[in-house]
Chains A and B, each alone.
Chain A
Amino acid sequence: GESVGLHLPTLSVQEGDNSIINCAYSNSASDYFIWYKQESGKGPQFIIDIRSNMDKRQGQRVTVLLNKTVKHLSLQIAATQPGDSAVYFCAENIPGNQFYFGTGTSLTVIP
């Protein structure tokens, strides 16, 4: 299957700092990407998505950047808060109705 990888398995940041979580994808045909947040014992929760015809999309305190040239996706969280501590997954959709998930990055916010 397709691989969706994350550069760093763990990330620790100080409260109030900005966080950047990276994701590499391998299939140039992927046309839709989603970032999910998963808290312990819960199902993944949608954060933000981006289609392949866009380079950047902003939400509330979050920004997703897509670099199709190097097949790289990043999630930026502004002014990180303790409630942002969780595992973050990127997922890519390759035309064919299937999503492939990365292995996840664990974000820890230090008060």
Chain B
Amino acid sequence: NAGVTQTPKFQVLKTGQSMTLQCAQDMNHEYMSWYRQDPGMGLRLIHYSVGAGITDQGEVPNGYNVSRSTTEDFPLRLLSAAPSQTSVYFCASGEHPISEQYFGPGTRLTVT
């Protein structure tokens, strides 16, 4: 049981480039979410999904897209990277929103 996995661990992008951060879970959880964590701040919700085919915006969705074609995978797409998107990104999953959330190890993204 791998839990929540994220790839890559580290990424450097130039302004304007696009990329996809991968997230997968093997616990058959319906609820998945993406957060970003900036220095001195807590985690802020970007997007979430309550099941395959259903996604919704969180607190800071601008500049990011998500899709949920399967229960296991929840990729996060950066459409046109900006320096303000330099952050550590965490994916999480849980049986449902009101339950323990399991976090992945994070992706550290730098945009130059």
Contact = CB atoms under 8 A, between A and B. Distances in A.
**How many B residues are at the interface, by size bracket?**
20 to 34
Contact of A101 (B31, B43, B48, B56): B43
**How many A residues are at the interface, by size bracket?**
20 to 34
Interface in A26-62: 31-32, 34, 36, 41-46, 49, 51
Interface of A is mostly: strand
B86 to A, nearest CB: 17
B5 to A, nearest CB: 11
Nearest to A48: B100
A74 interface: no
Interface of A: 1, 4, 31-32, 34, 36, 41-46, 49, 51, 89, 91, 93, 97-104
Contact of B105 (A42, A51, A89): A42
B85 interface: no
Contacts of A51: 98
The 5 A-B pairs of least Cβ separation, nearest first, read A43-B103, A101-B42, A97-B97, A101-B43, A103-B42
Nearest to B6: A43
Contact of B43 (A32, A42, A44, A93): A44
